[in-house]
Amino acid sequence: MILATGATWGICAASIAAVIARPFRWPEAIWAVAGAVLLLLFGLMPFAAAVGAVARGMDVYLFLIGMMLLSEVARAEGLFDWVAATAVIHSRGSPARLFALVYVTGIFTTTFLSNDATAVVLTPAVYAAARKARADPMPLLFACALIANAASFVLPISNPANLVLYGGHMPPLGQWFASFGLPSLASILVTFLVLRWVERKRLAGTCLSDVARTPLTTAGKAAFVGIVATAILLLIVSALDMELGLPTMIAGITTTLAVCAIARSSPLPLLKDISWSVLPLVAGLFVLVEAFDLTGVIGWVAQALRIASADPVQASLVSGATLAVASNLMNNLPAGLVASTAVAQAQPPRLVVDGLLIGIDLGPNLSITGSLATILWLQAIRREGGDVGFWRFFKVGAVAMPLTLAAALGTRLLLG
């Protein structure tokens, strides 16, 4: 039993480390799936348990499919280029103003469409804006990545990890705003100030602003309408306490078919350009978490929560900070799944659960593999011909994440 537990932990740890380090520059999905396959081959987890773990991520898969379809159809119809040109024109030659415009756009995108949408939809537009303005793209790209997590608890729909932590049963919006309204504002403000200071040298000087802006085609306008309609749909679905995955996928498919019909083009080229590898990556991570659960790890976490909850204030701080770090070790989706199961067993006070949610949303700003949003962000950058290394991201995240986490947790505790 001890040997099997050690082997399970070893395979899971090695797989997660490979997802982070990407040996041979192979895609992250290969390493997550390889770890899951090894667990099955060595008989360390039942096949039925692995299938169940994959099935539990179904809502997340559907959500991602819908968002990736929306992103790809918007890119193909020139919506990103139009957004980029608009931002550059309004920057009036100031990289700092362009940075602020990108940040504000990221707040709205994350709030109403989710942090994954900011990574998938906004990042290509920002990269295009940097090229048009002949500005350093890194501060603008970091704005996309960090705001995708910093604003991810403004609304329940702002981050799929929120759905995972609460097991699909979100608190009413009134209770949500009472708990997270001010902490969200603190998170957004502190992240902006820290990132603006860290990237101050790159944002100095001037950039181009007199750029051509090609008018949107009818198909491009339809893609924009589809994205706005999806945001409205998600707000309604969230208010009705329904799962978001299927409605998002339906919205993505509907928008894609409508835009292709208007443009008189085939949707097949769009499907080929989507980064489908993110789906097996998420599935593999869910299997790895299930393996941890079978070894009793989640039971230990639940017991620790019960003991710590004797002092809710301290437990909120410690559990939030711990989960923030853990999200970078195993990605915040599986970390949220662990926390969700532990919360269901331990039934800690609401203050502790709120601390866990803040930790799981803000923790991923520390490293490039901390959340699905940052992984999608990195994939979007690679598609544009760029790349961001683990240490390059970590140097920024090591400053931004602890300060933002402290501000958000501290504000939540002041609310009582």
The whole-number pLDDT of residue 177 equals 87
Q: If you search the block for the tokens 């701080």, which residue do you land on?
A: 317
Across 50-58, average pLDDT: 89
Query: Alpha-carbon distance 120 to 274, whole Å?
Result: 10
What single-letter DSSP state applies at residue 365? Answer: G
- What 12-17 contacts at long range (C-beta under 8 Å, 24+ apart), as own/partner pairs, is 12/39, 12/288, 12/291, 12/292, 15/284, 15/288, 16/288, 16/329, 16/330, 16/331
Q: Is 229 or 372 the better-scoring residue by pLDDT?
A: 229
How far, rounded to the nearest angstrom, does the alpha carbon of residue 168 sit from its chain's CA centroid? 17
Nearest partner of 342 among 307, 291, 301, judged by Cα: 301
CA 204-122-213 angle, to 5 degrees, is 75
CA 144-149-151 angle, to 5 degrees, is 90
Q: Residues with Cβ < 8 Å from 139, sequence gap 6 or more?
A: 95, 99, 195, 199, 202, 203
The count of other CB atoms within 10 Å of the CB of residue 169 is 7
Q: Are 284 and 15 in contact (CB under 8 A)?
A: yes
Asked whether residue 416 carries a pLDDT value surpassing 80, the answer given is no
What single-letter DSSP state applies at residue 205? Answer: S
Q: Is 278 or 146 the better-scoring residue by pLDDT?
A: 146
**Beta-carbon-side half-sphere exposure of residue 167 (alpha carbons within 13 Å):** 9
Q: How far is CA 322 from CA 295, 317, 368, in A?
A: 20, 8, 18
Asked whether residue 170 carries a pLDDT value surpassing 70, the answer given is no
For the CA atoms of 362, 363, 366, 371, what is the dihedral angle to 10 degrees?
Answer: -90
Share of the chain above pLDDT 90, in %: 37
Enter the pTM of the model: 0.83
The whole-number pLDDT of residue 370 equals 86
Query: Alpha-carbon distance 339 to 165, whole Å?
Result: 6
**Mean pLDDT of the chain, nearest integer:** 87
The whole-number pLDDT of residue 60 equals 81
pLDDT in tens, 234-250: 888 877 777 778 999 99
The ranges assigned to domains in the chain are 2-415
The whole-number pLDDT of residue 168 equals 55
- Secondary structure (DSSP) of 293-304: HHTTHHHHHHHH
The whole-number pLDDT of residue 33 equals 94
Q: How far is CA 173 from CA 132, 164, 246, in A?
A: 40, 17, 21
Query: Alpha-carbon distance 101 to 291, whole Å?
Result: 43
pLDDT in tens, 253-266: 999 999 999 999 99
Query: Alpha-carbon distance 170 to 39, whole Å?
Result: 33
Q: How many residues belong to the chain?
A: 416
The whole-number pLDDT of residue 157 equals 78
Asked whether residue 186 carries a pLDDT value surpassing 90, the answer given is yes
Collapsed DSSP state (helix, strand, coil) of residue 408: helix
The whole-number pLDDT of residue 41 equals 92
What confidence category does residue 362 fall into, taking pLDDT thresholds of 50, 70 and 90?
Answer: very high
What confidence category does residue 364 fall into, taking pLDDT thresholds of 50, 70 and 90?
Answer: very high
Query: Alpha-carbon distance 288 to 28, whole Å?
Result: 14
Which conformational region is residue 296 in: left (phi greater than 0), alpha (psi within -120 to 50 degrees), or beta? left
Tokens matching residue 324: 């923030």
pLDDT in tens, 341-353: 888 888 888 899 9
pLDDT in tens, 202-227: 999 888 887 778 889 999 999 999 98
